[in-house]
């Protein structure tokens, strides 16, 4: 899917009022705006001057994935790993990926003082269960607040396709999450130097035992089995605004391999 990046330009009007203007090329998110200060002072001499009015436009989501996770290739033999150009290229890429993730998580810890991996994994687990449950029920109203604007349109199409094939579906997770692992972390924003409009995206690998069953209009199971849990692996990308204290984690993408 072709997606356009967002642009943000700053301009100064003829009356000296400074504004920031942001817009989205695909309409996948709706920029909102806050006016932090708006005041005009008139000196005693009667000469009216306008004080600066600062308007901060921020995105609810960038509407795209910063960098899609790519699983590492099969390991090379010892000689190729250490004595070929290909081997050193792979080593360099692996090191750069580690540094990017470390930098992203360091920024997240700095901006959100209460962040730690244990708390994040607990929130991600709750989101994983809730989103799967609501998706199976086709509850778009509640799903809208748990996913980004762009991914909401994706999941809505998935639900429509499923509802066209089945009368209803049943989903449940058996036991606890078997495996949750951070694959990578990335920062995305309009300006690399402006962290006030940056987002953090963390890609997780999630394994769990699940029960799935699809029914026809006569209430007969035509796919899945209520008695046989399946080991399911998902790769989900969670997103959060880096600096806004009221922001929450939301699902912004899923990857299939």
DSSP states of 13-46 as a string? -TTS-EEEEEE-SS-SS--EEEEEE---B--TTS
pLDDT at 39 over 50: no
pLDDT of residue 97: 95
- In tens, the pLDDT along 70-87 reads 998 888 998 988 999 999
The token duo for 33 is: 């705006």
DSSP designation for 73:
P
Per-residue pLDDT for 3 more than 70? no
Across 12-35, average pLDDT: 31
d(CA 81, CA 199): 35
pTM: 0.75
- Of the chain, the percentage scoring pLDDT greater than 70 comes to 77
The more confidently predicted of residues 229 and 27 is 229
Q: What sign does the dihedral 80-82-83-88 (CA atoms) show? A: positive
Cα–Cα dist 254/1, whole Å:
14
Task: Give the separation between CA 186 and CA 99, rounded to whole angstroms.
Answer: 10
Which residue reads 């990308």 in tokens?
Answer: 237
Split at pLDDT 50, 70, 90, the class of 43 is: very low
In this prediction, residue 4 carries a pLDDT of 40
Domain covering 78-255 assigned CATH 3.10.450.240 in the classification = yes
The count of other CB atoms within 10 Å of the CB of residue 164 is 7
Q: Sorting pLDDT into bands at 50, 70 and 90, what band is 57?
A: low
Confidence of residue 51 (pLDDT cuts 50, 70, 90): very low
pLDDT tens-digit readout, 130-185: 999 999 999 999 999 999 999 999 999 999 999 999 999 999 999 999 999 999 99
Domains of the chain, by residue range, sit at: 7-58, 78-255
Measured N-to-C along each axis, helices 117-137 and 149-165 cross at an angle, to the nearest 10 degrees, of: 40
Quote the pLDDT of residue 125.
97
Q: What is the pLDDT of residues 84-136, one digit of tens each?
A: 999 999 999 999 999 999 999 999 998 888 789 999 999 999 999 999 999 99
Burial of 245 (0-12, 13-18, 19+ CB in 10 A): exposed
């Amino acid at each position: 899917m072709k997606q356009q990046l967002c642009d943000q330009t700053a301009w100064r009007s003829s009356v000296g009022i400074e504004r920031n203007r942001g817009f989205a090329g695909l309409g996948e998110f709706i920029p909102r705006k806050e006016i932090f200060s708006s005041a005009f002072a008139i000196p005693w001499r009667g000469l009216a001057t306008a004080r600066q009015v600062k308007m901060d436009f921020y995105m609810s989501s960038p509407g795209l994935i910063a960098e899609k996770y790519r699983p590492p290739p099969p390991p090379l033999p010892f000689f190729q790993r250490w004595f070929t150009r290909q081997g050193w290229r792979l080593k360099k890429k692996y090191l750069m990926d580690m540094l990017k993730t470390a930098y992203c998580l360091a920024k997240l810890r700095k901006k959100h003082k209460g962040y730690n991996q244990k708390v994040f994994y607990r929130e991600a687990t709750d989101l994983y269960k809730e989103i799967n449950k609501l998706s199976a029920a086709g509850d778009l109203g509640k799903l809208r607040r748990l996913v980004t604007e762009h991914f909401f349109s994706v999941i809505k199409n998935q639900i429509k396709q499923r509802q066209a094939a089945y009368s209803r579906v049943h989903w449940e997770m058996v036991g606890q999450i078997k495996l949750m692992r951070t694959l990578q972390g990335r920062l995305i924003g309009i300006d690399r130097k402006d962290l006030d409009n940056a987002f953090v995206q963390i890609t997780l690998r999630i394994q769990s035992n699940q029960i799935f069953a699809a029914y026809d209009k006569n209430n007969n199971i035509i796919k899945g089995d209520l008695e046989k849990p399946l080991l399911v692996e998902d790769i989900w990308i969670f997103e959060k605004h880096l600096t806004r204290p009221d922001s929450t984690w939301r699902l912004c993408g899923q990857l299939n391999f």
